[in-house]
């Protein structure tokens, strides 16, 4: 699913983002901040299964999927952070317009927004995560 989401965000390059990638480890992403501009990474965050919907027969469960889009803005020569904040707002809005309400496949529910947070600010870089949710029905085949 993450590669499909990454592909959905690729048209935002170069107008709103300098690059978009998928990452499996947030720490590795944060070890290599962008040199300039705005970068985004799609990261898996959680899967939360509900109880089975069947009392007999193969198990059927709804699984809520949580993923994040980590956005890093490198803003040098911006002592008050005005330019960096503007770039962050524009990137977040562009990503939201691509994802919110979009259905990645017939087996997934449309994507909804979840809580967002500042991860950290350091060395002229703002790190932000926007979380999104979708869900899928999983069925046991035994």
Confidence at residue 30, expressed as pLDDT on a 0 to 100 scale: 85
State the Cα–Cα distance between residues 86 and 23, nearest whole angstrom.
25
Range of the domain at 23: 2-139
Domain CATH code at residue 132: 3.30.2000.10
H/E stretch holding 14 reads none
| End-to-end C-alpha distance for the chain, whole angstroms | 25
Write the pLDDT tens digit of every residue in 12-57: 999 999 999 999 888 888 888 888 889 999 999 999 988 877 778 7
Instruction: Summarize pLDDT for 56-114 with one digit per residue, the tens.
Output: 878 888 999 999 999 999 887 776 667 888 999 999 999 999 999 999 999 999 999 99
Please state the pTM of the whole predicted model.
Answer: 0.89
- Domain tally for the chain? 1
The Cα–Cα gap between 12 and 21 comes to 12
């Amino acid at each position: 699913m993450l590669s499909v989401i990454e592909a959905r965000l690729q048209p935002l390059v170069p107008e709103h983002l300098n690059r978009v990638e998928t990452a499996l480890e947030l720490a590795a992403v944060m070890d290599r901040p962008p040199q300039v501009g705005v970068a985004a990474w799609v990261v898996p965050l959680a899967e939360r299964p509900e109880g089975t919907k069947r009392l007999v027969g193969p198990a059927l469960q709804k699984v809520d999927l949580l993923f994040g889009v980590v956005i890093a803005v490198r803003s040098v020569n911006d002592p008050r952070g005005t330019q960096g904040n503007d770039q962050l707002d524009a990137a977040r809005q562009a990503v939201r317009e691509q994802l919110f309400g979009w259905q990645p496949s017939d087996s997934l529910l449309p994507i909804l927004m979840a809580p967002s947070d500042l991860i950290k600010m350091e060395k002229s870089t703002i790190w932000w995560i926007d979380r999104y949710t979708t869900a899928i029905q999983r069925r046991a085949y035994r």
